[in-house]
Structure 1
Amino acid sequence: MGVFTDTTHLHIFTWVVAVILFLVAAVMAKGSKGRKVIHMILRLFYILVILSGAFLFFAWSSSDAAMYGVKFLLGVVTIGFMEMVLVRQNKDKPTNVFWVLFFISLLATMFIGMSLPIGMDFF
């Protein structure tokens, strides 16, 4: 299981790809065949992000369980907002609030993730 828990490379790769796919799907024309395909691939990456995050959570949470738990929950909330934006766009409903909530939760998740012991030390 070392490939999942020794470094954060796999987890970072999966969420970066997920965010890129989300942004591509969000700007594509509503109802197009390509958007549906990208949305389905994005849902696969949601699962990969959660699985790689869960492996890291169970391997490293003994050092600071509360912060790892908060980061895990914020990550799931971020994925939820991503999905809400795409689904509401398909239904022609307003998405401005969900865009703002997505960016806030993404930044909060990244900040907490970087400040954890396995994260990167910028300061």
Structure 2
Amino acid sequence: MDFLTDSTHVHITTWVIGIVLFLVAAFMNPASKGRKIVHMVARLFYILILISGLALFIEYSSSDAMMYGLKFLFGLVTIGMMEMVLVRSKKQKPVTMFWALFAVSLFVTLFIGFMLPIGLDLF
């Protein structure tokens, strides 16, 4: 399982694909069969994001456990908000609050992730 912790490439690739799939599903017609398929593939990528993130968390959290823990927590919240947007929009319930929470949690997760020692040096 070294390929999961050698670098962050696998993790970044999975969350980029997961976010793209989420956005595609979110803007599709809620009643279409294609949306259901894209939603299921997005759920698969949520699992891959969690597996790769957990592997990185276990490998590197000894250096700064609090920040890695916060990033893990906000990552879970981000995935939860993505799922809430898709499920509630399918049921035609209001999703504005969940879009806002998704945007905020995604921003915080990316900010913390890029700030950490194994993240990209953007800041």
Flag whether TM exceeds 0.5 (same fold). yes
Secondary structure in structure 1 of the residue aligned to 2:117: coil
Other-structure match for 1:37:
37
Other-structure match for 2:84:
84
Other-structure match for 1:121:
121
Instruction: Name the aligned partner's letter for residue 36 of structure 2.
Output: K
Instruction: Name the aligned partner's letter for residue 11 of structure 2.
Output: H
What is the percent sequence identity of the aligned residues?
A: 62
Where does structure 1 lack aligned partners over 5 or more consecutive residues?
none
Instruction: Name the aligned partner's letter for residue 22 of structure 2.
Output: F
Cα distance in 1 for partners of 2:122, 2:93 equals 39
Other-structure match for 2:70:
70
Q: TM-score, normalised by structure 1?
A: 0.98
Instruction: Name the aligned partner's letter for residue 31 of structure 2.
Output: G
Number of aligned residue pairs: 123
Cα distance in 2 for partners of 1:13, 1:122 equals 17
Cα distance in 2 for partners of 1:2, 1:79 equals 25
Cα distance in 2 for partners of 1:4, 1:120 equals 16
Other-structure match for 1:60:
60
Other-structure match for 1:2:
2
Where does structure 2 lack aligned partners over 5 or more consecutive residues?
none
Cα distance in 2 for partners of 1:44, 1:120 equals 25
Instruction: Name the aligned partner's letter for residue 29 of structure 1.
Output: N
Q: TM-score, normalised by structure 2?
A: 0.98
Superposed CA RMSD in Å reads 0.6
Secondary structure in structure 2 of the residue aligned to 1:122: coil
Task: State whether structure 2 residue 25 is matched by structure 1 residue 25.
Answer: yes
Q: How far 1:120 sits from its partner (Å)?
A: 1.2
Secondary structure in structure 1 of the residue aligned to 2:74: helix
Secondary structure in structure 2 of the residue aligned to 1:43: helix
